[in-house]
Amino acid sequence: MIKKEIEQYIEEHTTNENEVLYKLNRATHLKTFYPNMLSGHVQGKFLEMISYMIRPQFILEIGTFTGYSAICLAKGLAPGGKLITLESNEEMENFALEYIGMSGMEDRIELMMGDALEIIPGLKEQFDLVFIDADKEQYTGYYELVLPKVRDGGFILADNVIWGGKAVYDKNPDKETKGIRRFNEHVKNDPRVEQVMLSVRDGLMLIRKL
């Protein structure tokens, strides 16, 4: 993994979070059990930049957590665009909605609560960008459900594909590590897409549907 000094250097040379994202970052670390699930400053800015480059009309996010990544992604939406974000943990609902409201994005972000594997088949939109950051065991399942709903030439981003190095080194992998490895190999061997794995934070895979 990247040394702390290098991480600090990267953060110092990345545009600062705005006030709402800074407060959300702090609140997530103070009030949740697993704050490392947050996309955070550098990855959040990367997601924002990707969204601005694509200018998507529709974004799907699988795994809202406290809403940080949803806010970042929504910044790059085309005029009149919409981001749908899915979250299964009911305890996160009010937390995320509070900060989505503070960001002024409540008219562009729709939070849907429930199991993504059950919700995705009912979505009617064709997505320009999908961000997968939820149950690692289900990554391949999410991918297979969303790929038909991604436009040709559209993109999928998957988080945690290095999984703290366990995807590479772990000789006795747990279920989540196995899920990440299964997903990585599945995408690698999928002729419907092309992909690049990036070492941003805990690993991001950027996938383009052919």
Of 64, 62, 201, 190, the residue nearest 131 (C-alpha): 62
Please write the tens of the pLDDT for every residue from 104-133: 999 999 999 999 999 999 999 999 999 999
Amino acid (one-letter) located at 140: T
Q: Which of left, alpha, beta for 17 (phi over 0: left; psi -120 to 50: alpha)?
A: beta
Q: Which two tokens stand for residue 3?
A: 């040394």
Q: Helix-strand-coil percent breakdown of the chain, rounded to 5?
A: 50, 20, 30
Tell me the backbone φ, ψ of residue 143, rounded to 5 degrees.
-60, -45
| 88: pLDDT strictly greater than 90 | yes
Rg of the chain over all Cα atoms, to the nearest angstrom? 16
Continuous segment of H or E residues that includes residue 165: none
Band (pLDDT 50/70/90 cuts) for residue 1 is low
Give which of 135, 25, 144, 126 is closest to 87, Cα–Cα.
135
Cα(19)–Cα(26) distance, integer angstroms: 11
- List pLDDT tens digits, range 15-57: 999 999 999 999 999 998 888 788 999 999 999 999 999 999 9
**pTM of the predicted model as reported, rounded to 2 decimal places:** 0.95
| 136 in Cβ contact with 163 (< 8 Å) | yes
Rounded mean pLDDT of the chain?
95
Tokens (6 digits) for 6: 């290098």
Q: How far apart are the first and last CA of the chain?
A: 32
Q: Which amino acid is at 196?
A: V
Domains and CATH numbers, the chain: 4-209 (3.40.50.150)
CA atoms within 13 A on the CB side of 71: 29
Residue 3 is predicted with a pLDDT of: 82
